Amino acid sequence: MSRIGKNPVVIPAGVTVEVAEGLITVKGKLGQLTQEYSDVTVKVEDGQVLVERSSDHKDHRAKHGLYRSLVNNMIIGVSEGFTKSLELVGVGYRASNQGNKLDLALGFSHNIVLDIAPEVTLETVSEKGKNPIVKLTSFDKQLVGQVAAKIRAFRKPEPYKGKGVKFVGEVLRRKAGKSA
């Protein structure tokens, strides 16, 4: 048995889970998410979602824990939401936003203007003497992570001075400079 897959997912108040043939729909106060599934059976009983597999085939074992985790993330997302924070470390690095357009100054000749998906809420924080912070919030965990990774990919942190776009709380592996 998958240790993750056999745990039931508790449905909190205000969240509804509907299971159709091959499709799970989760609705909550923050939004609605759908997920296709195969090779497992999904049941809603007594305020819990149970994921069971039909056999011990390798694919079925792999998907057992996967779909349980995806359903859990969907339920947490529509009830609480997910947040990712990015920090811009470097002299002259700036971030601002107008609605869902993110404007980044990362040391290139032109600013980078990025349109963020409408499901993601964008907020930029710029305080004097501190690094600018970009906060991304959404009910879809995969989408928040994808947008955050795209922003980070514009200027990854380098190992010598640590300049670049990094996640808040991320520990960078630093290298010593050249020894003369």
For domain 82-167, the CATH superfamily is Ribosomal protein L6 (3.90.930.12)
Looking at residue 2, its pLDDT comes to 61
Q: How far apart are CA 4 and CA 68, in angstroms?
A: 7
d(CA 61, CA 110): 49
Q: How far apart are CA 53 and CA 67, in angstroms?
A: 10
Residue 35 has a pLDDT of: 94
Element holding 31 (H helix, E strand)? none
The answer to whether the beta carbons of residues 126 and 132 sit under 8 Å apart is yes
**Domain boundaries along the sequence of the chain:** 9-80, 82-167
Sign of the torsion angle spanned by Cα atoms 157, 159, 163, 169: positive
Q: How far is CA 6 from the centre of its chain?
A: 24
pLDDT score of 21: 87
Look up tokens 């808040």; give the residue. Answer: 168
82-167 shares the fold of 9-80: yes
Token output for 169: 């709380």
Q: Phi/psi of residue 67, each to 5°?
A: -70, -30
Q: Which CATH class is domain 9-80?
A: alpha beta
83 residue type, one letter: T
- Indicate the residue type of 50: L
Q: How far apart (Å, rounded) are the C-alpha atoms in residues 17 and 70?
A: 13
Closest listed residue to residue 165, CA positions, set 151, 144, 179 = 151
For residue 51, what is the enclosing H or E element?
Answer: strand 48-53
pLDDT along the chain (180 residues), means of 10: 82 93 92 92 92 89 92 94 95 93 94 94 93 95 96 94 93 88
